[in-house]
Structure 1
Amino acid sequence: MALPLTHDDPQQLGPFRLIARLGGGGMGTVYLGRSPGGRTVALKTMHEQIATQATFRSRFQLEIDAARVMGERYGAEVVDADPFAAVPWLATEYVLGPPLDDTVALCGPLPERSVRALGAALCAALGQLHRSDVVHRDLKPSNILITAFGPKVIDFGIARAIGDQRLTSVGVTAGTPAFMSPEQAMGAEHTSAGDVFALAGVLIFAATGHGPFGSGQPADLLYRVRFAEPDLGGVPAGLLPVLTRCLSKDPAHRPSMAELAGRLNHEEGESAEAEFTDYLPETALAEIGRRATEVWQIQPTRLPAPSGSVDEAPFRPGMSRRKLLTLSGGAVLGAAAAGVGTWAWLTQRGEHADTAGPRPTSTKRPTNVPSQAVWWAKINNTDETFAPTTVGDLILVMNGDGLVGLEAKTGEERWTRKWEIGSSAEKIKIAWQVVSDGEQAYAFIPENVPKEGLSIYSVDLKNGRPRPLVGPIPDLNGAQGAPAQPLIAADGVIYLVARERNGDPSGETGWHEIAADLKSGKELWRQPFKGAYSPDTSRDGIVAKAVGSRLVLTRRIGVLDIVDGIGVRDTRTGRMLWSRDLPRERLDSDSFLDPGQLVADDDRVYFGTGQLYAFRLSGGDKAWAFGEGRDKGDFEKDTRPYGRPAVKDGVVYVAEGTRGLVAVEADSGKLLWETSVGGVPSLLVTPVIGRKYAYVAMDGNARISAVDLHTHKVAWTFRVPGVFDGAFVAHERAGTLVLKSGDFVYAIPFE
């Protein structure tokens, strides 16, 4: 319900004129606003009195990041944001649809087919969030909006990265008790399995009108969540087994989001081509249409100031409703009234398409592009899990639809290659997995219905088209459900992980590390390894680097008893030369590596956790350790004070605690110099070292500091619009340092 503005509400936030209040609470206020072009948005702000506290600003920034990860398909599209303003604000699309709790109140408990469709769509939404290693932590009916195009998940105020405990105090729970997971209720780590638990509670509410643990005081609810059996009265018999399993007190016994989606998708006899509107009761469709019309009938009103106070300047109405409808509303209203829409993310129709040839980026600098950016490009719905990749004279980035090739010097879009369709019957878009050796890009393209085995393709840098290169290898699985993982391409060889076709369907057996020749396309060797593996899960991913005749591999193993392992294989035979466990701090949840972050030179591999370690590639023994007894600033006990290192020209660079950057001699571990970087350095982003500067990410990924390698002082700082996605790469020939933030790709000078 829209409420009048109060006398002291701002007239405008950023470019958006405020129309009405939509709600508020202890953290901030939500407004209805409109852009100069007539677009209606929801504007969330933070109260000025808490905006001065770093913790709350960090939470607000994380909320913006999580909303961008979710994207417009599964959530409210982020239109604009300014987390650095005196009063931080976030503008998202105004979603035309009621929350799930209002829908159930209006329509009554939903039929089983509606609950299945709702659940499958929410699995897809949360799956996208989890692939970026972010969990929602507050999934509940009021945070799910029902639209003609599918449900949208909103309110990421307490979302955070898996394993990130920095914004959660010990013993403090965050979330809604009625839909918490047991582990969240007792203040423990809430992983993606916790979101599965919460989703089951939401689906029980949709099917019955009540939550799985009833209502009442928070303390009572928290007790029931942890120790009581759920109330499943009224749940359709067809949903009981899977929802019961989702509500297991033990996270390990719950299904994954992918498995849950498979159990919920289409009942027998249902058409796979059905649209979301086909599953909604008529009353719900009518409510969606009513809300779509109602938003344009809201007129800006403002309550008078209390007696004795100073009035604000008079409010000037903007465009007429007629003009606003002409500019942007008519198409939206028409779509909502007609009830059109598809589960585009489940049933992509039509053949793949691509565009080739340079398309210039805008020459008019947007307001969110800092002056240091030498070029920028807007790529809608960028994929945060894929860091910018340098190849030839291009930068490759991914979005929700495909692979984009940008000129490294200018940012001009050379081509866009949409994902191949896996099966003409299923018509599901399947994302590629891409690696580069710097001169050429290579892709594994999963098949929806595998026929001939596993293949690796090269990517034509002129137009983005894939060309068969390796395989097909008949006995290896190239299916979407058991994806291979290209690790690295180097010296004419591609190294990958894949599973045999006759391996255990659960993924427990049949996994191999494999080498294939990039010229002949022939397999060179394969070596088995034991245990389950999930190559599309970054927390379980193998990270590799080729150094001469050695292939260095690291992997995190285990969930509760975690081990960071490292091993070295002979690149000619695949034989394991040595392996060992890496040291890690007890609470170091960030010691896993992402692709490209394994750091080694010709003699040693380097790893940061409680100390900065160097291990000899020749035998795996420790060459040296740096950091014992040093003042590393303010950080929690048993966590890591050293970040992910970089090495260049015999010097190792690493972020140290909350203090700054240190440089040590690669041969001995001797300290060469140390410096402050103008704030707290990020321990999760590897520094990039140029000829003149060391580029260091700041905590929160909102700034990059350029440290002069001669003076050891910060020469300049690039303030990232929003936050970049955790990695930045240098294209040395183009002289650019490239990063992604939201839907923008930026380049700054690399020297």
Structure 2
Amino acid sequence: MNPLGTGDPLRLGPYRLIGVLGVGGMGKVYLGRDDTGRPAAVKVLRPELAYDGHLVQRFVREAHAAESVRSKGVARVLGAQMEGGRPWIATEFLAGPTLDHAVESYGAFGNAATRALGAVLARTLRDVHAAGLVHRDLKPSNIVLTSGGPRLIDFGIARPEHGLTLTTTGQAPVTPGFGPPEQVVGRRVGPAADIFALGAVLTYAATGERAFSGDHVAAVQYEVVHGEPRLDALPPDLRALVAPCLAKDAAWRPTPDQVIKALAPPRNADSAWTSGALADDIAERERNASRLSALQGDGEPTQGSGLSGITGISRRKLIVGLSTGAVLAAGGGVVWWLSTGDGTGGSAPWEADLLADYEEGTPPPALWGPIRTGAHEASVPLPVRDLVLVTATNGDVRAYDVRDGERRWSADGAEPSAGTAAPAAHSETAFTADASGGLLALKTEDGSRQWTAAADVRTVLAADGGAVYVTTNDNRLRAVSVTSHEPLWTVSPPVRSTAERAVRAVTADGILVVYGSDGKVAGVAAGTGKTVWGPEEQGSGFLTPAVSDDTVYLGGRRLRALALADGKERWARPAAGAGWGSPALAGELLFAGDGAELKACKAVDGGVDWTLTLMNEGRVREAPAPQGNTAWVVLGERGTEGVATVDVRSGKKAWPPLRSGPGRWRSAVAGNRAFLLSGGELTAMPVF
């Protein structure tokens, strides 16, 4: 959670605002408290959108939809103001993991717990339908697990049962794999649509796998309409209950009452979220949220110091406990997921405590290290859950425990090229090249080989749920399916890629953004390999893009924000020095080197928040690594000048740059740790 900033309101209706929980496309969400100390999530429509009739109508619909449902299974609307320049909605504050995070962190639910979950959700859907609504977006990320049981959130696209039109042109009408066939093809949907989604949710809860999957969105939607659900991993008795929910014909699906009766969970089946590690997780988050709002003091907060009123306990620890995993329901249930950036999406048992304070000018002791890893000069530390991966000079991928630096496993790989030696990872799988140029998929838990594919790989670029993107030995761009393990497409890249300097790439929302050594950037359709925008001249090649939501940020001659879907420029800021380096995003700020300076720019418009000179000359090329209130910045054109540590609150150096002799520095952050790699040695440093 971030403190209130310039332009943020101090109070909305009866709610004193404490801090900023998140920012989305339609609005900003604040943590607030009323005069009794009760916390609330307060969503405010963006001022620039308050004049858009369609968006205001949708904002109003969110409030009315959630308000009309009388059920303890949804987040309650506490208040709303629809008139004036700042429309807002306040809802019950929910601090707990979503179902998808719970499954990822603690494993799939057992038979009894899945039945209990299904019964609660079916009762909630019965209440939603009784209010004359269809939720239309039931999925694991819209189910919050609280101490009082599962809660259904996000009524942003809920509509009356008789409503037909769901979205405006260009908006996705359904979450792939959870919406029913009739919703996929754009036909009228009724309550049975939510039952189909319930069946898909229960399959995921019980197995950890989706009922419908594919290499890309279109393939998943095709399976929903024409294919059969994958239910083999379900216990036979549960499969018999779930299968009817996933019927193609809505008329054949059961009603919520029939689902409730069929599930019939045994006594104490809700122990999955009332006892054990998951329950402890929920309880800790709820305690932190309650204490944070209760200990604000009686004075009004001021902008820029929204969390300064806490005394008697560690404010910093409370913020960490809240922000590393709180699911926040606001504006009829719109969810903001506040992640620590380690890929887990929440507070995990391997996370470190934030450094409570530091002595300015004096670096704190390392958490562990330096340890000898034999890492290649081009290797970049890759945190994946409780491990950090590096690539050795002989091509081995080596995994070290983030808590103590102990080596957990090593797996054979191909000798790295001159360009990059970093593997890519998605979920719990790491991808690298094997000695024969094949694509190798490793289970991150133990390094075991999951599969290999003949792909003529030179460099692994990126991975998502459908494919792994690589460059080949003849410098082409290729996508390899993570399900069939076959190449999906191979194309000549729209930007230059060489054996020594392969493209750098990121993937998000079906777009692979590639930045070439010729300083050009382009967007490639992840499903087909077709260039959908660009190439555009950006200058200063071999930089890595950054992506957040629907925007891609680029360094070069100008620091630019482009629409991810079509490459349209949203803003640009010329370089004052030798050129912008690779950017990194943290909350509402974008950090990037501008020549020898580090600048913090507002992600929304590129306005400079602060500037810090890091070197007398040279250039900061690599992306800073921000975490907490700290940013770790590798210095020099080739990263050989050490690592500066910056307090992002003040824009000042926390202590002198870390240097340990010649060698190229690389950095990564996750789980409140900074991982620094130089000369083959890996060190974990604390974050404040």
Give the TM-score of the pair, scaled to structure 2: 0.42
- Structure of greater Rg: 1
Q: Which has the higher contact order (CA 8 A, sep 6+)?
A: 2
Give the TM-score of the pair, scaled to structure 1: 0.39
